[in-house]
Amino acid sequence: MRLGTPEQVEVLTALEPAVRGEIELHVERRRLWFPNDLMPADAADQDQRLAEEQQVRDAARGLPDEVRIALALNLLTEEGLPHFHRLIAVYFGPASPWSDWNNLWTAEEDRHGCVMRDYVRDARVFDMRAVEQMQFLYIKAGFEPEWQQDPYRLLAYTSLQEKATQISHANTGRMAAGIEPRLQRVLAHVAGDESRHYQFYRAVFGEILRADPERAIESLLKVTLNFAMPGHNIAGFSDMSEVLGRAGIFGTRHYRSIVEELLEYWQIGAMTGLSAHAQHNQERLMKIPARLSRMADYADAKLQRRRFSFDVIYGRSIEL
C-alpha cells in the first residue's frame, strides 16, 4: 500500500525503473566508508588507542562553542533517522525500488550518527547526557509533518533537507578545520554522503515534475514555503538554530541558495503548458528566493548581539 491519490500512486509505480536506475548510479559514485575508518576503536594496540583519544581531546579543547552547538544540533538531526525511515516506508510501501532505496539510504545515514557520536564522546566536546536527553525527547515526540499523505511533498522535502544538512555539516567542518582536522574529516565524509543523497532525491523529484507537473508544483510550493528542519519542536532547538545562523553555518540565506539551485535545476520557471492554477503556483515558487532575501535583509537590519546559554555546553554563555 502507498499513500497518495490514485493518480500519484500510478505515477510512483511508473517511475520505479527510473528509481532503480538512480539507485544504481548512486552506488556507482559512492565510496562506502564506516565510522571505524574515521574514529578507529580497534583493540589491537590499546596504548596507541589511548594516545589517539588523548590527541583528539587535546585538539577539541580549542573548538569554539558555536561549533560545539552546531555539532550537537547536527547530531540531533542525524539521530532522527527512525522518523524518516518510517515516513518513507509508510508513504511508499514495501517490496519496490522505493523500499530498496529506503533501506539503502537508512543504512548509509545510520553511519552519520554513529561516527559523530564516536567523535563527540572521544573528544569530550559537550555534556553528553544533555544531548542524549534532547535526542530522547526528539525521538519520543515523533515527527509528523503536515504533508496530508502527499508523497510528492516527502520527496520535495528530502530534496531541500538533504542539501541543508550537507551545508550545515560542511560549514561546521570548515570552522573546525584549522583547530581540529579530524573533526573536519568526519564532517566532510558525512557531508559527502548528504550531497549524494540530495542528488538522488533531486533527480527523482525531477522525474515527478515531468510526469505530473500540476500536482508536483503544488506540492513543492507548499513544502518550500513551510520548510522546517526536523526536530524544530524540541526545547532549545530554536536557540541552537539561531546560533548556527549568526555564526554563518546555516541560515535563511543558505536556504535561499538551496531554493534557487533547485528551481534552476528543475527549470521551474521554464515549464509550459500548465493550467492557470499551476501557473499561479509556478509564479509563487519563482518569487520565493526574493522573498527569502527580503526576510534575511530585514533580520540583519534588526540584528543585535544576543547572549545564549545551553546545557549541552555546561550552561556556558555564547554572545553573538
Q: Is the pLDDT of residue 50 over 90?
A: no
At 284 the pLDDT is 97
At 32 the pLDDT is 95
CA separation for the pair 54, 72 (Å, rounded): 21
Contact 209, 266 (CB under 8 A): yes
With cut-offs at 50, 70 and 90, classify the pLDDT of residue 234.
confident
Name the class of domain 6-40+48-313. Answer: mainly alpha
C-alpha distances out from residue 182 to 27, 56, 172, Å: 26, 8, 12
Contact 126, 73 (CB under 8 A): no
Higher pLDDT, 254 or 137: 254
CA separation for the pair 188, 84 (Å, rounded): 22
- Burial (CB count within 10 angstroms: exposed 0-12, middle 13-18, buried 19+), residue 38: buried
C-alpha cell read off for 71: 555539532
The residue count for the chain: 320
How many other CB atoms are found less than 10 A from the CB of residue 62? 11
146: helix, strand or coil: coil
At 45 the pLDDT is 72
Q: Is the pLDDT of residue 43 over 70?
A: no
The per-residue pLDDT for range 19-41, each reduced to its tens digit, is 999 999 999 999 999 999 999 88
At 3 the pLDDT is 86
The residues spanned by each domain of the chain are 6-40+48-313
At 1 the pLDDT is 67
The per-residue pLDDT for range 190-212, each reduced to its tens digit, is 999 999 999 999 999 999 999 99
At 229 the pLDDT is 79
Q: Is the pLDDT of residue 17 over 80?
A: yes
At 146 the pLDDT is 86
How many other CB atoms are found less than 10 A from the CB of residue 35? 20
With cut-offs at 50, 70 and 90, classify the pLDDT of residue 162.
very high
